[in-house]
Chains A and B, each alone.
Chain A
Amino acid sequence: MKNKEKDLLDSFTKKMVKDLPIEKPSNIFSKKVMNVISNLETVKSTFVYEPLISKRTWFLIISSLIVSMVLLLKTKPIKMPNFISKIDTSGISIPFSFDVSLSFTASNITLYGFLFLAIMAFIQFNYIRNYNNNYS
């Protein structure tokens, strides 16, 4: 199609469409929308958000994880890569000690297992929280 036809068609379409009336919803439309919104607000205010896992439970889970990690590390230290063992830590002193004698030992695989579980849980919690925030 040549430019002349294109321009004619463009101005004709403009003329046609501009002639259309503005459509109006019913008179009570706005009221209906606001009623639904105020109902939403009422539901929101009567429903108090409670997380599935309470702060107390989180505290217990995290402390038990930390305790188990420390105890596992005490039973069999992980062989660190060379560059880490070269770091001089003689100047750093820890003000507390975990000298607890345990009657069991854990393999490196168990320790790595725990470590990866912790990383996976951390990533998943964040991912699920973001997903929930975006699509709820």
Chain B
Amino acid sequence: MANNDDVYYIKKTLDGDSASFGFLVDKYQNMVFTLAIKMLKHREDSEEVSQDAFIKAYKSLSRFNGESKFSTWLYWITYNSCLDRIKTNSKFINDVELNEVTSNEVLQASTVFDSLEHKERSEIIQECMNKLPEDERVIIHLFYFEELSLKEIIEVVSISEGNLKVKLYRARKKLFCIFKKSVEPEIYNSYEK
């Protein structure tokens, strides 16, 4: 169900007050841009795609039926706009080797993670996220960062629940493998201590 504020401004926009759409742009611009940058990893491209996503949403606002949240619908538009951009540009394609993970490794990596400075930590995570394939990166972002439910993510990425769970599981594992590789020196140092 769409949020009441959103419904009010959507209705006003549909009644001809296009300035009301500005409220929705202001409210969701960070959310849309964050998703775009997670998929495209490039600021200029992401800003362009985010702008396109809002314009597409404005043009097809009359087709938003209110059954889902406006934000989920907007995510769906952004996700598909990013996919279109990725299809036309091979520079975004990524792949990562997947290895087995043990609980001991997770605990060690977690200790190293906690010992990092906040800024350094953010930079490392960002780099690790960028190394994930874009479909898995988006699922991790929507599930852990935006805290969307599985049902909402299914609406955005249009895949089955089973497929989503498998992708989420693989994405977690891959992200961990990437992180472990990037902080390997620190892990060895922690062994020495």
Contacts and interface: CB of A to CB of B under 8 A. Distances in A.
Contacts of B145: 17-18, 20
B125 A30 contact: no
Given A26-B47, A34-B22, A8 B125 contact: no
Q: Which of A18, A20, A26 has the most CB of B within 10 A?
A: A20
B122 A37 contact: no
Contacts, number: 106
B140 A29 contact: no
Interface residues of A, number: 33
A21 B54 CA distance: 22
B72 interface: no
A24 B33 contact: yes
B129 A25 contact: no
A12 interface: yes
A37 to B, nearest CB: 6
B172 A25 contact: no
Contact of A16 (B34, B58, B179): B179
Q: Which of A12, A18, A24 has the most CB of B within 10 A?
A: A12
Interface residues of B, number: 46
Interface string A5-31: 110111011111111111111100110
A38 B55 CA distance: 11
B141 interface: yes
B176 interface: yes
A33 B37 CA distance: 17
Interface stretch (B89-97, B100-108, B148-156): B100-108
Interface in B68-89: none
Contacts of A9: 101, 106, 172-173, 176
Interface of A: 1-2, 4-6, 8-10, 12-26, 29-30, 32-34, 36-38, 40-41
Given A15-B110, A30-B29, A33-B54, 19 more contacts: A1-B101, A5-B101, A8-B103, A9-B172, A9-B173, A12-B106, A16-B125, A16-B175, A16-B179, A17-B144, A19-B122, A19-B125, A20-B129, A24-B30, A24-B33, A29-B25, A29-B50, A30-B22, A36-B55
